[in-house]
Amino acid sequence: MEKSGHLHPLTHVIRHMVGIFRELGFQVAEGPEIETEHYNFDALNIPKDHPARDMWDTFWLKPQNRGLLLRTHTSPVQIRYMEKHKPPIRIIVPGKVFRYEATDSTHEAQFYQLEGLLIDKDISLAHLKGVLGKFFEGLFGRQTAVRLRPSYFPFVEPGVEVDVSCFKCGGRGCGLCKESGWIEIMGAGMVHPNVLRGVGIDEREWQGFAFGIGIDRVAMLKYGIDDIRLLYQGDLRVVNQF
């Protein structure tokens, strides 16, 4: 009997995530994978020579012209969207991103992120926590231990990193979670006033939160995959399970 094709696990996860956020009132936006330094860094409050640029190991397209690059995160789409649309804003941006880094069981040089951006009046971190709670509940079909850690991203203030309990060891500590019991899944925070001002939004009137989730990490958690590289090797023994 002929076998029919089927969706890749990452496609399943992206569709599932988008469905949950749509129910929460978010619309899908897109942006280019080849970006300018301006959108990937400067407009996100990361000026040239700022040490925070080291957080994103970058594939520059032309070494002699340091203008174009492969986007290192989906955050530039926040800027592109806010330039064209007035608040209130509620969008998600699923897409491919690229980093010049060594691969290991939780890191790839090409992977997927889903960006979220909500701009409205009287918004606080509590709204972010509420939205994420609903999201994880929808995604994993049960309450999942979630931890917010103070962190730093130049385009938010305050910034947080969000961890979920390691699916492999249940939080006891193992090789996958580097003995910590937690897996980092996203960065987030309150959109920095400099970012809002830069796109012409009055930061005294509007506030918002933004986040960037690693979709591959979500797929790993959801399906119990303990090496991210398995998602990209096209091994039928892996993909036929989905």
Q: What is the dihedral of CA 37, 101, 30, 52, to 10 degrees?
A: -50
| Those residues with Cβ within 8 angstroms of residue 54's Cβ, 6 or more apart along the chain or in another chain | none
User: Per-residue string for binding with ligand YSA, 173-192, x by CB under 6 A?
Assistant: -----------xxxxxx---
Site for ligand YSA in 123-152 (CB under 6 A): none
Closest residue by beta carbon to ligand YSA:
214
Helix (H) or strand (E) holding 140: helix 125-140
Rg from Cα positions in the chain: 18
In the complex, the smallest distance separating the C-beta of residue 5 from ligand YSA, rounded to whole angstroms, is: 26
Residues labelled catalytic? 56, 73, 99, 113, 156, 210
Residue 210 sits in the site that holds ligand YSA (CB under 6 A): yes
CA distance 195 to 208: 11
CA distance 121 to 208: 8
In the complex, the smallest distance separating the C-beta of residue 142 from ligand YSA, rounded to whole angstroms, is: 20
Residue 14 sits in the site that holds ligand YSA (CB under 6 A): no
Q: 66-100: string of b/e by CB count within 10 Å (b at 16+)? A: eeebbbbbbbbbbbbbbeeeebebbbbbbbebbbe
CA distance 96 to 230: 17
Query: Quick one: which of 41, 153, 167, 182 contacts ligand YSA (CB under 6 A)?
Result: 153
In the complex, the smallest distance separating the C-beta of residue 165 from ligand YSA, rounded to whole angstroms, is: 15
In the complex, the smallest distance separating the C-beta of residue 154 from ligand YSA, rounded to whole angstroms, is: 9
Closer to ligand YSA by Cβ: residue 6 or 175: 175
If DSSP codes are grouped into helix, strand and coil, which group holds residue 77?
A: helix
User: Per-residue string for binding with ligand YSA, 79-118, x by CB under 6 A?
Assistant: --------------------x-x-----xx--x-x-x---
Residue ranges binding ligand YSA (CB under 6 A): 73, 75, 99, 101, 107-108, 111, 113, 115, 153, 155-156, 184-189, 210-212, 214, 216-217, 228
